[in-house]
Amino acid sequence: MPPVSVGDWCLTTSIILIDRYLSRGGGKPASSVERSQVVTQGLRHYVKTRDQRTIGRRVCFLSVSSKTVLEMSRQRDQAVLKNKPDNTAFTQQRLPAWQPFLSAGYVLPTFFLLGLVFIAIGLGLYFTSNNVIEIELEYTGRSPNSSCHHCTKNDTKDCKCNIEFKVDKTLPGPVFMYYELVNFYQNHRKYGVSRDDDQLNGDLKYLKEPSEYCFPFRQDGQNRPIAPCGAIANSMFNDSFVLYKVNNSEISKVPLNSKGISWWTDYNVKFNNPKLDNGTDLKQAFEGTVKPHNWPRPAYELDTNPENNGFINEDFIVWMRTAALPTFRKLYRRIDDGLQPGKYLVEISYNYPVLSFNGQKRVTFSTISWMGGRNPFLGIAYLVCGSVSIVTGIIMLIVYIKYQGQNIRKVE
């Protein structure tokens, strides 16, 4: 038998497939066994009729294309199997599960129990918050009867005014002294980003070349860099307070502690004074810079204590941590020994203007509890949630009693 070429073999095989397909009568395709037999027969037969050759070539092309499609499909299936998860209980989601049956016997007691627990917690938080003692003194000076009213019309610096108050019972230490501003929006976007954290961290490069975010408080009119730059630093609160205890005709000064009023991370990590390689003093490190426009003195003269001067001045650090709401308090001092019953006097150096934006200024003395200062919100929130839970349980109980008989009759 002469050798058979691939083309002739394909042609012969295709013709035999046509013959087999036509001879089946029902138009049903041949099985895989029959196809293998046809291929074997195709190797043994060779048909040279022109019409059969033409038909055979076409069928051969279709058969080869079918093989290509099947091969591509097989490769695709193998690729999919590579991403198939492992046959484990976890990956195939066959882990045991438990679904509670939500019957009235379980749901109603749950609502009542949660309600009672929430109310108990809410009462504890609410009364704990109310036990915090606060003494709040408003000194804006808007009213003509205010002792600080004359300072609102006085253009001279360091206008002083006094406010007297009385402590009825002992305030155990530590007592925290705050200043409070009303209607001051530190959360405004442009105000909040108007600072240079690299400069505040003591980087000499940014000390002389502040960030563009500080504009228009980046440089003065002579293009000298401002340190510290930005709107936040420029608007630093600069009222000061001195507290006196009044004993008949005698007045004694109450010690106020300014150490540790800022966050530890701010004082030890975020804020650092610039340092020169030759170890010169702070004034020389700030050489070539100017103070913010609204500051009475430069940063290196904020305090005589070197550990509380420059960028690490704690009053400055406290102010630079912006508040989220327009009414906010910031810690000013700490009275470690507390306040005894009696009369007290606060001497205020009135420097910070607030009437231009319809603001208010207050000074507050407050004790603390295990949950912090006075804030009844959390206790009220627990009370509301507990009350809603109990009311919901009562409504569901009424509905259950009302429709329970109807369900029993339907079952019967």
For the chain, report the end-to-end CA distance as a whole number of angstroms.
89
- Which pLDDT band holds residue 275 (cuts at 50, 70, 90)? confident
pLDDT in tens, 85-114: 888 989 888 899 888 788 888 899 999 999
Is residue 302 within a helix (H) or strand (E), and if so which, with residue range? none
Residue 92 belongs to a domain: no
pLDDT in tens, 198-255: 999 999 999 999 999 999 999 998 999 999 999 999 999 999 999 999 998 889 999 9
Does 261 share its domain with 278? yes
Does 74 share its domain with 115? no
| Domain's final residue, options 348, 367, 386 | 367
Residue 307 belongs to a domain: yes
pLDDT reported for residue 323: 96
Contact 282, 306 (CB under 8 A): yes
Does 226 share its domain with 287? yes
- Residue type at 42? G
Contact 18, 53 (CB under 8 A): no
Residue 22 belongs to a domain: yes
**Of 32, 50, 39, 38, which is closest to residue 6 (Cα–Cα)?**
39
Does 14 share its domain with 38? yes
Residue 277 has pLDDT above 50, yes or no: yes
Does 379 share its domain with 331? no
| Number of domains comprising the chain | 3
Does 292 share its domain with 217? yes
Does 245 share its domain with 270? yes
Residue 37 has pLDDT above 70, yes or no: no
The two beta strands, 175-182 and 328-335, are antiparallel
As a whole-number percent, the residues of the chain with pLDDT over 90 amount to 58
Does 148 share its domain with 242? yes
Residue that wins the pLDDT comparison between 335 and 306: 335
Is residue 315 within a helix (H) or strand (E), and if so which, with residue range? helix 314-320
Does 126 share its domain with 228? no
Residue 89 belongs to a domain: no
The two beta strands, 175-182 and 250-253, are unpaired
What is d(CA 259, CA 314) in angstroms, rounded to the nearest whole number? 8
Does 166 share its domain with 264? yes
Residue 95 belongs to a domain: no
pLDDT reported for residue 104: 83
Residue 394 has pLDDT above 90, yes or no: yes
pLDDT in tens, 314-329: 999 999 999 999 999 9
pLDDT in tens, 323-354: 999 999 999 999 999 999 999 999 999 999 99
Judged by DSSP in three states, 360 sits in strand
Who contacts 179 (Cβ-Cβ below 8 Å, separation ≥6)?
Answer: 237, 239, 241, 329, 330, 332, 361, 362, 363, 364
Judged by DSSP in three states, 352 sits in coil
Tokens 């809603």 sit on residue: 388
CA distances 391 to 89, 109, 113, Å, are 43, 12, 12
Does 71 share its domain with 197? no
Does 124 share its domain with 167? no
pLDDT in tens, 38-53: 545 544 444 444 445 5
Residue 117 belongs to a domain: yes
pLDDT reported for residue 410: 56
Contact 38, 60 (CB under 8 A): no
Residue that wins the pLDDT comparison between 9 and 150: 150
Full residue range of the structural domain in which residue 160 is found: 136-367
Average pLDDT, the chain: 83
Residue 87 belongs to a domain: no
